[in-house]
Amino acid sequence: MTKYQLTSDQISSKVAGETVILNHNKGAYYGLNDVGVLVWDNLEKGPQTIESLCNAVTSEYEVDPDTCKSDIDTLLKDLISEKLVEVIK
């Protein structure tokens, strides 16, 4: 089962429910939307599968599992391309 984790290139901070991420290798800053924050919070706890992330989102938002999974897949791809998240081999 593929797992995803935060990379060592990133550091993040949360103020008043908003999460800001820095890729200190690249010198780029990022913000996340509500679902993004929920996914990020879970990744901060440790490596996650897409299923475990999807469960976390569906328990808080009314969304069908397939849509949720595809949205999370898109988010993870974005985070991976910015080197904030990596796949554990």
Partner 1 sequence: MHHYKAFGLNILSEIELPELSDGDASTRHDLYIQSASFELPALENTQLYRRGVRAGFAKDADENLYLHWNNVASFKASNGNCLVVRPLVDDNNLVSLFTVSEALGLILFQRGLFLLHASAVRVGNEGWCFMGMPGAGKSTTAAAFIKAGCKLLSDDLTAIGFNDNGLAYIVPAYPQLKIWDKTANGLHYEKSELQPVSEGVNKFSYQPKSDFLQEPVPLKEVFFLHKARNRKPLVPLSAAEIPTETLKNFPLPSQLLTEDALKRHFSQSFQCTRSARLWKKKRPDGFENLEKWVSESIAEQLTAG
Chain positions contacting partner 1, by CB under 8 A: 11, 13-16, 18-20, 22, 24-25, 27, 29, 31
Contact 39, 75 (CB under 8 A): yes
> What is the closest distance, in whole angstroms, from the C-beta atom of residue 30 to partner 1 in the complex?
8
> What is the closest distance, in whole angstroms, from the C-beta atom of residue 13 to partner 1 in the complex?
4
Which residue number, 58 or 86, has a Cβ lying nearer to partner 1? 86
Which residue number, 8 or 70, has a Cβ lying nearer to partner 1? 8
> What is the closest distance, in whole angstroms, from the C-beta atom of residue 19 to partner 1 in the complex?
7
In whole angstroms, give the CA distance from residue 74 to residue 80.
10
Which residue number, 29 or 61, has a Cβ lying nearer to partner 1? 29
